[in-house]
Structure 1
Amino acid sequence: METSGERARSALPFGEKVSEAVVSLYGCLPKKGKPQGREVTVLAAFLISSPSQELKVISLGTGTKCIGRNRRTLKGDVVNDSHAEIIARRALLRYLYSEIQHVYNTHAHSNGSVLCDDVENFMFHLESDGLGPKRLKMKHGWQLHLYISQLPCGASPSSELALLHDSPAKQGGMMCSSMQLSYSKEESLGYMSVNDGALLSYFLEPIYISSVTVGQSHIASKSSIIKDEMIRVMHERILPLSKLMDPFQVNKPLVFVAPIPPEEFQHSETALTTLTCGYSICWNKSGLHEVILGTTGRKQGTSAKGAMSPSTESSLCKKRLLESFLSLSRNCLGEHAFVGNSYRELKDKSQEYHLASKTFKASSNFKNWFLKPQDFEAFMAL
């Protein structure tokens, strides 16, 4: 039976329901990694809604920092960009790896998963027609939603907001497509900060974001200003991508404005009196909970003596994401598992994604996309 509190929440505007769910979960997390004193941070999260519109947070991230050029490595063992949107999205990738493995292990109907539950959907197509693997997809009627505690700064180039493939994000801008979620040109990195979801395209059909909810600001006092800016960024600059090839498509999510977030997520109003928190919290529903020091890209508490130890590597670094992919490949594909390939080679072998990515970056609004040197993705799993 529905309680009075549940009835009250169900009557709230959608953006407010999203915000309440995210802030409530954040409040339940331990103090470690949260802003202290005059510090502030950014909060981002992904949620899913069931056919009955029940909302659940499945991944969450905080943060405003990234590493400097002198901390970049060729091993994929640090998190280059620890802004909230990227952390939340990488935590989502790990959640989806867990979901795929769960579906594979059950071999049957898995009511707890948001993915279609026929394991044969993501076994390799063994016929000689070169179609590659069949993939899972999100169950009918389920939707993915994004929450960000503040409007990303600046007017950035944009494509449609979708999910699961190379998706960069940052406080400094938002841009989205069937491969891209948002983008970051960070001077200390020297290139656009791009997340790593191409490998999931071997196992999943594209999953598109249905809505984006942004926390309101005291400065942008009218929610219509925020909504108009988000629509301009996400909808009006995607026309060159209208001919993306199947299975990718242009997606235009709904935009909602949430109430002003708690004080520790308020930046623009307090910039002269606050400091940005150096830590990033990453959490997902499958059991991940870490705190990353954004300026080093490694776990909180890393000592100078053991700074390069594997134990300091975050679950969200590319090396660990590659390990998750290869483990899933072995478990799901058996003798057809991927072996002997670098991270870059595996991304390039995902042909549909690779072609869509090239189309995206060649379009008029994104042709100046700054790419990282190829050797930063030439590493292999140990």
Structure 2
Amino acid sequence: MEESQLELDEKQWGPMVADKVFSLYKSLPKKGKPQGREVTVLSAFLLSSPSQDTEVIALGTGTKCIGRSKLTHSGNIVNDSHAEIIARRALLRFFYAEIQCLNDNNGFQNSIFESELDGSGGIKYKIRAGWKLHLYISQLPCGDASLCLVPSSIGEHEGCSELIGLVQRKPGRGDTTLSVSCSDKIARWNVVGVQGALLSYFLRPVYLHSVTVGRSPYVSEDVCLVKQLKRSLFERVTPLSNELIKPFEVNKPIFSAAPVPPKEFQHSETAQATLTCGYSVCWNKSGLHEVVLGTTGRKQGTSSKGAVYPSTESFLCKKRLLETFISLRHECKIRCSSNEVSYRELKG
């Protein structure tokens, strides 16, 4: 869908995106979904093209992240299980699967990517011309985008005006988290792309064409929601425009509102009154379907004794994503193995 058409059909765009996301979510098994009074957050990436209907290609749920004391140096747990981050890691898995298919079949007919020569004579992939990536979230992302902007309400959230625009950590009860807020991570994606450092060895930056967020049952004005998204996810990173080197740029997505999500995604106005689901469901079009316990960063059903085994590791953890990258290392210029170059050095 071209930008002008999306803007023209904005009233239809939000409901259409939400319908597709929730239809896919409902088709998934009950495992890992909220039960009883529990609620969660849902996020998804969708793809549109000139010849195909918009479709969901990656999805995630969740509200939890690991506290500082439980972090490991081996990369074998998922530190951040918020919906947006789970969905994005599922998206990375989908991108890897697409690259693997290109390598195996040596053909681009059914791929979302096409190839081009880079400046040094090598080949990199980029998303096909006319294909657009879209993000849906059932509520405003945590952090800057969720801070109130209306002066009359600032008194209800003491000190929030001082936090607007600043990088923030995710909120947590008890053990302090080191995970950066979803608002800050999405803002970063609007500068460097959603693909991350490792996939940048293979891919040109992949930017979001639109960001659609479900309305709160407590706030009815779409204008306020869109204003918050635009300020938090785009405007505060625009000063970087003159400091970036091609192919990077400050991306300006189209921001829009979607209908209020179903009850299991409606959080109360106060965190104390909300019973949040501890599990994160992840899914992508290439066959990934997994449930992670957000407070441990491992697969659902992992016992304390079994937590040391590789079988409990999520496919979304850094260790597993690095293994996938290493398996495709012949696609990029560097020659390495997981023993020769560290994860940090690869991300460089």
Match of residue 72 from structure 1: 71
What is the rounded CA distance, in whole Å, between the counterparts of 2:274 and 2:131 in structure 1? 39
Shift of 1:220: 1.4
- Aligned AA for 1:256? S
- Alignment of 1:138 with 2:127, yes or no, is yes
Task: Decide which moves more: 143-152 or 167-176.
Answer: 167-176
Q: How do 1:20-35 residues align onto structure 2 when only pairs under 5 Å count?
A: 20-35=19-34
Shift of 1:87: 0.3
- Alignment of 1:157 with 2:165, yes or no, is yes
Report if aligned partners of 1:41, 1:62 keep a CA contact under 8 Å in 2. Answer: yes
Residues 69, 273 of structure 1: alpha-carbon distance in 2 compared, 3 angstrom cutoff: closer
Match of residue 262 from structure 1: 262
Report how many aligned residue pairs link the two structures. Answer: 306
Can you give the 5+ residue segments of structure 2 that lack an aligned partner in the other structure?
Answer: 1-8, 148-163, 168-178
Taking only aligned residues, the RMSD between alpha carbons, in angstroms, comes to 2.6
Match of residue 318 from structure 1: 318
What is the rounded CA distance, in whole Å, between the counterparts of 1:88 and 1:344 in structure 2? 23
Q: How do 1:324-363 residues align onto structure 2 when only pairs under 5 Å count?
A: 324-330=324-330, 332=331, 337-339=335-337, 340-348=340-348
Q: How do 1:149-188 residues align onto structure 2 when only pairs under 5 Å count?
A: 149-153=138-142, 154-155=146-147, 157=165, 170=182, 175-176=187-188, 177-179=190-192
What is the rounded CA distance, in whole Å, between the counterparts of 1:171 and 1:248 in structure 2? 19
Shift of 1:304: 1.6
What is the rounded CA distance, in whole Å, between the counterparts of 2:215 and 2:314 in structure 1? 31
Percent sequence identity over aligned pairs:
57
- Aligned AA for 1:338? C
Can you give the 5+ residue segments of structure 1 that lack an aligned partner in the other structure?
Answer: 1-9, 160-166, 182-195, 349-382
Residues 262, 270 of structure 1: alpha-carbon distance in 2 compared, 3 angstrom cutoff: farther
Report if aligned partners of 1:158, 1:234 keep a CA contact under 8 Å in 2. Answer: no
Q: Which has the higher contact order (CA 8 A, sep 6+)?
A: 2
What is the rounded CA distance, in whole Å, between the counterparts of 1:212 and 1:173 in structure 2? 13
What is the rounded CA distance, in whole Å, between the counterparts of 1:298 and 1:109 in structure 2? 35
Task: Decide which moves more: 268-277 or 252-261.
Answer: 268-277
Match of residue 229 from structure 2: 230
Shift of 1:171: 7.3
Shift of 1:274: 3.5
Match of residue 251 from structure 2: 251
Residues 60, 169 of structure 1: alpha-carbon distance in 2 compared, 3 angstrom cutoff: farther
Report if aligned partners of 1:136, 1:203 keep a CA contact under 8 Å in 2. Answer: yes
Q: TM-score, normalised by structure 2?
A: 0.81
Match of residue 150 from structure 2: none
Higher helix share: 2
- Aligned AA for 1:216? R
Q: Secondary structure at the match of 1:290?
A: strand
What is the rounded CA distance, in whole Å, between the counterparts of 1:241 and 1:220 in structure 2? 32
Report if aligned partners of 1:43, 1:63 keep a CA contact under 8 Å in 2. Answer: yes
What is the rounded CA distance, in whole Å, between the counterparts of 1:44 and 1:345 in structure 2? 30
Q: Secondary structure at the match of 2:113?
A: coil
Match of residue 363 from structure 1: none
What is the rounded CA distance, in whole Å, between the counterparts of 1:158 and 1:212 in structure 2? 21
What is the rounded CA distance, in whole Å, between the counterparts of 1:12 and 1:229 in structure 2? 18
